[in-house]
Amino acid sequence: MIEQTILTNLIHNEEYVRKVLPYIKKEYFQDYIDRSIFESIEQHFTKYNACPSIDALRLDAGNNGNYTEDQYKAVGELLSSLQPTRETFEWLLDQTETFCKDKAIYNAIMESISVIDGKSSKSRGALPGILTDALAVSFDPHVGHDFIEDAEDRWEFYHQKEIKLPFDIDLLNDVTKGGLSKKTLNVVLAGTGVGKSMFMCHCAAGNLRDNKNVLYVTLEMAEEKIAERIDANLMGLTIDEVHELSKEVYEKKITRLKNNYLGKIVIKEYPTTGANVNHLRYLLNELKIKKSFVPDIIYVDYLNIMMSSRMKYGAGVNSYTYIKAIAEELRGLAVEFNVPVVSATQTTRSGYTSTDLGLEDTSESFALPATADFMFAIISTEELQDLNQILVKQLKNRYSDPSFNRRFIVGVDRAKMTLYNVEQSAQDDVLDEAAVFDNSEVHNRNIKEAFNDFI
């Protein structure tokens, strides 16, 4: 039996133990005696960093008060049979990995049956995640990057072209060196009504034009309202004009979009503060299984009205810690599913009336900018509104130097929910400042308040 082969090598083959022990779970052993011996081996190796001897395992069994007389006898007989073998190391690894995969899938199926029968505390929404986790079991051969030995691989990495999701706004592509990278969290800062959702809807439409799959998660507006904005953008119509279309004309326009673009946009609505990253994780798994839909980018509208999957707000958890947790979880989701995540956050009350937003104007948690890879503010004034323009200001940028094009103008057609490039002359009055952080009294006071909240 493979179980006995595994137990034998866990006792006599230290190289094998160090390779496979992190991946083997006690639940993989169906037989009680096999599972008990594995637990003894695991505990011994964890505590002493060495393989246990047969005698040590016999002593552990003798000190185990949970064994019946027959079980203790069976343990002794099994230990006596676990003698060294001569299988090749590669064969052992392959067989053990297969064993772990098979048992993980079997256990997942049994757990799923319990969920369906109502015998588990988990909901049916957890089923895709249970099966996906089981199918993902594998031995990771990568043990780290050797600085000297892997220098050639590193050179190749330096010179490979990174796959990015570009914007259709030239200056946004310039400051991000071609667009958004995978495994990143990108955040828009703006006051109420300035255009956070419009910006994300415009970008989602642009991604579709690039034949990309888009998942748009909304916790603020209805799914139909988000789709309405994307309709206006893609059709080049005002929202009122979209409403006036006859059914026949509207269907023709949708058919034209379907024929012209290979990507898809899926919009999912959750109640305000009614979803966390686990809900998004289940959604992504269900979309993959039920619709064969895998997004290239995820928009979350917006971060501050999500829940944290790790902590509950209140009971000693302040807004600084809570929003920080949500941001970290969203970025973790981006890494897990290998996509860029784009979200938004509100300004503080003082920032709402400011014409020059900074990182200190981030509402609720100053830790959000620390987690984001790219963060920028959208600023609107009466003068800019008259010119159909908005001001974009970089606040943090891991893609490139944030002092390059720190501020720039973007054209906006709010009726059609569209952003566009403006002529260079519109940028002439925009001043670039070298520093991202300032030392103003207001800035330092806000930093101090955030730090006091945190401690």
CATH of the domain at 209: 3.40.50.300
Q: What's the Cα-to-Cα distance from 79 to each of 5, 14, 32, 275, rounded to whole Å?
A: 12, 17, 14, 50
The pLDDT value given to residue 450: 46
Of the pLDDT bands very low, low, confident and very high (cuts 50, 70, 90), residue 354 is low
Residues 130 and 185 in one domain: no
439 band by pLDDT with thresholds 50, 70 and 90: very low
Mean pLDDT value across residues 176-204: 91
Cβ-based neighbour number of residue 28 at 10 Å: 22
pLDDT of residue 316 exceeding 80: no
Instruction: Determine the distance from the C-alpha atom of residue 360 to the mean position of all C-alpha atoms in its chain, rounded to a whole number.
Output: 25
Domain-located, residue 131: yes
Domain count, the chain: 2
Residue 444: pLDDT over 80: no
- The whole model's pTM is what? 0.67
Residue 352 structural domain: 176-454
Report the DSSP beta bridge partners of residue 47.
none
Other CB atoms within a 10 A radius of the CB of residue 382 amount to 8
Which one-letter DSSP state was computed for residue 189?
E
Percent composition of the chain: helix, strand, coil (DSSP 3-state, to 5):
50, 15, 35
160 found inside a domain = no
Q: Structure tokens of 89? A: 């190391």
Distance CA(318)–CA(307), nearest Å, equals: 13
Query: Region 307-315: what's the mean pLDDT?
Result: 77
88 and 199 in a common domain: no
> Do 116 and 249 belong to one domain?
no
Q: Please, how many CA atoms are within 13 Å of residue 184, restricted to the half-sphere of its CB? A: 20
Instruction: Give residue-wise pLDDT tens across range 404-431.
Output: 888 899 999 999 999 999 888 778 767 5
Q: What are phi and psi of 281, to 5 degrees?
A: -65, -45
What CATH code is carried by the domain that includes residue 126? 1.10.860.10
The last residue of one of the domains, among 79, 113, 135, is 135
Assess contact for 378 and 218: CB atoms under 8 A: no
Within 338-394, where are the H helices?
349-352, 367-371, 382-386
d(CA 280, CA 283): 5
Q: Which of 348, 353, 378, 324 has the alpha carbon at shortest distance from 446?
A: 348
Largest CA distance in the chain: 90
Show which of 115, 135, 155 is a domain's final residue: 135
Confirm whether 145 is domain-assigned: no
Cα angle value 423/424/430 (rounded, 5°): 115
Q: Does 57 fall in a domain?
A: yes
The verdict on residue 144 lying in a domain is no
One-letter amino acid for residue 126 of the chain? A
pLDDT of residue 143: 64
Question: What tokens does 275 get?
Answer: 């979803």
In angstroms, the CA 284 to CA 266 distance is 11
Q: Which residue carries 């963060």 as its tokens?
A: 375
Question: Among 109-123, 206-220, 237-251, whose mean pLDDT is lowest?
Answer: 109-123
Residue 157: CB atoms within 10 A of its CB come to 11
Q: Map tokens 């104007």 to a residue.
A: 361
Please give, one letter per residue, the 3-state secondary structure of 263-276.
CCEEEEECCCCCCC
Judgement on whether residues 207 and 331 belong to the same structural domain of the protein: yes
Segment 160-173, tens digit of pLDDT: 777 899 999 999 99
pLDDT band at 432 (very low <50, low <70, confident <90, very high): very low
Instruction: Assess contact for 235 and 260: CB atoms under 8 A.
Output: no
User: What is the model's pLDDT at position 315?
Assistant: 63
Please report whether residue 143 resides in a domain.
Answer: no
Same domain membership, residue 131 and residue 69: yes
Read off the pLDDT of residues 278-294 as tens digits, 9 standing for 90 and up.
899 989 988 998 889 99
